[in-house]
A and B are shown apart, each in its own frame.
Chain A
Amino acid sequence: MTQYILEIAYLIASITFIIGLKMMSNPKKARQGNLIAAAGMTIAIIGTIFLYSKEGLTSRDNIKMILIFGGIAAGTIIGWLTAKKVQMTKMPELVSMFNGMGGACAALIGLMEFHHSVGQTSTMITVLAGMIIGSVSFSGSIIAYLKLNGAMAKPIRLPKYNIINTIVMFALFAFAAYVVVSGTDSSTMLYLLFAAALFYGILFVIPIGGADMPVVISLLNSFTGLAAAFGGFLYDNKVMLTGGILVGSAGTLLTIVMCKAMNRSLFSVIFGSFGGTTAAADGAEVAGSIKDISTTDVAVLMNYSKRVVIVPGYGLAVAQAQHIIHELELLLEERGVEVKYAIHPVAGRMPGHMNVLLAESNVDYGKMVEMDEINSEFEQTDVVLVVGANDVVNPAAKTDPSSPIYGMPILDVEKAKHIIVNKRSMSAGYAGIENLLFYDPKTSMFFGDAKKALTALVAELKTM
């Protein structure tokens, strides 16, 4: 009886996941969708705690129940507080971190189920697959977290790293195959395999830098989904299967969409990184010189423009300048200047990163224009203000075949009448590439921290 009720609970939960994800395609219903999925998740968890049973194995001793509820309470409190307190700009790091936790959970399940599965080939494959994928996702997410956090800003590349990575990957497969085929029940072997998977996760993410970070997080997200799905397969548990596979396939699709936006294949993101071509890029000569512009000049220029397009990038997030930029927008609108935001699909460190950030400061939805749409409007634009973006406005993507970002669709800001670039310094973007836009005669550099520079600009505009 209880078994049937649990099956129904899982069915309900699975449906809420699908409906929840579906509703997220509509900005108005998205929040409700998220809550529906959360409700389904609660049903699945509570149902499992009280109704799950496997003959001869399941028991609900006090100690176990205390540990389970204690674990859930601890996870809820920490998760809740972290999620509530984190600044909006730290969102990508946090998603990466939570993703790593899920991966670790899957890996631990694999570690515990190993000894129960010795001798059963298909079960063992499932257990090890979940364990390995979960471990790779965990260590990879932690590296991604550290990179986004700035603790590990530069990609670290061993010489011939992609050959090493490929060898390690195959060695990992071979090792896992050996464990399955030999039918060993040695814990040493298991922990060696676990360590090898963690190590591969580190190797996998560590050389990846530049604009590829969002792709990696999305990919690791689908990895964890896959690990959860293997868990579902192991326990013949439908809710884990649905949840895991939905995220696995959705995450993969999202990853591909992002790759397309950068005009790169997933293969080149994983194996090529930007490393293979940087040597050529370093050789590109930069002609011309840069000129900088004062706050007053920027204010005058903008005040007497008809159309202004703002191009936000990661620098905006770092400087927490989303509120002041909205203030600038309102001020300009008051004076009859038309203001729009040009959103590159991979601006920031996650897809939609800029939208979330601008939404936080109440920027109108309709003002955030996607790349394909805004690109035709740059010719009629008087001033483009680039705030903390770099690679997504680098014309080298169109003109320089030796550039590592060659072929990536970019915002055609160089077509505008004036381009003002706000940057902290002349250092290269995240991809580590020189930006020819800065040397364009129409470009003026407006140096300074985005928040301070824009605050000064707003103050200056108010005096006009």
Chain B
Amino acid sequence: MEQILSFISTHREMIYFIILAVFVGVEVIGHVPSVLHTPLMSGANAIHGVVVVGAIIVMLDTDASNYISLTLGTVAVILGTLNVVGGFVVTDRMLDMFKKK
């Protein structure tokens, strides 16, 4: 019990942050017309590619002689970048069609 309370206490800013972000997410998406659902899903898909930042951090913090970590890290960076770039480009392509109207 005490562990949980101290966890909440040490991370309270983070917890506030998370709760507020959840509401922002709901609020921001709440008004999207259904016609834009596919590009929205695709755009959101690109945004969670931000996980690539984590992959870069792992790479920077790892020991340069740890080849396993370097290999896994590089694969993670490639996959994360694929998610980001592919996601944004494909969303842009979709939205480009809407813009013509």
Residues of chain B with a CB closer than 8 A to A258's CB? 37
Residue of B nearest to A107 (CB): B76
When distances are taken between beta carbons in the complex, the residues of chain B under 8 Å from A370 are 34
Whether A240 contacts B14 by the Cβ 8 Å rule is: no
B44 cross-chain contacts in A, Cβ below 8 A: 21, 221, 225, 246-247, 250-251, 254
A112 to B101, CA, bound (A): 48
Partner of A249, one of B25, B59, B97: B25
CB-CB under 8 A for A30 and B28, given A75-B85, A240-B53: no
**When A94-B86, A112-B69, A364-B101 are in contact, do A248 and B41 touch as well, CB less than 8 Å?**
no
A250 and B87 in contact, given A31-B92, A45-B53, A240-B50 (Cβ under 8 angstroms): no
The range of chain B's interface size is 35 or more
A45–B73 Cα gap in the complex (Å)? 15
Contacts of B48 in A (CB 8 A): 99, 102, 221, 224-225, 227-228, 243-244, 247-248
A44 close to chain B: CB less than 8 A:
yes
User: Whole-angstrom distance from the CB of B43 to the nearest CB of chain A?
Assistant: 5
Contact (A105, B50) CB under 8 Å given A249-B21, A364-B101:
no
CA distance A235 to B87 in the complex (A): 24
Interface contact B51-A57, CB-CB below 8 Å: no
Q: Does more than half of chain A's interface fall in helix, strand or loop, or is it mixed?
A: helix
Please give the distance in Å from B1's CB to the nearest CB on chain A. Answer: 14
A257 to B59, CA, bound (A): 39
Contact across chains for A24 and B38 when beta carbons are under 8 A apart: no
Query: Quick one: CB contact mask for A213-246 with B, threshold 8 Å, 1 for yes?
Result: 0000110010011011101111111111111111
A210 touches B (CB below 8 Å): no
Alpha-carbon gap, A102 to B81, bound state (A): 8
A240 & B43 in contact (Cβ 8 Å cutoff): no
Query: Which of B17, B30, B95 makes the CB contact (< 8 A) with A238?
Result: B17
Given known A-B contacts A21-B43, A102-B49, A351-B34, A246 and B25 have beta carbons under 8 A apart: yes
Could you write out 16 A-B pairs with CB less than 8 Å apart? A24-B40, A30-B39, A44-B53, A83-B86, A84-B93, A102-B49, A102-B83, A121-B3, A228-B50, A237-B57, A244-B51, A246-B44, A250-B44, A350-B41, A352-B34, A355-B34
Given A18-B28, A112-B62, output 8 extra A-B contacts at Cβ < 8 Å: A64-B70, A71-B75, A75-B85, A79-B84, A98-B86, A233-B14, A239-B53, A351-B34
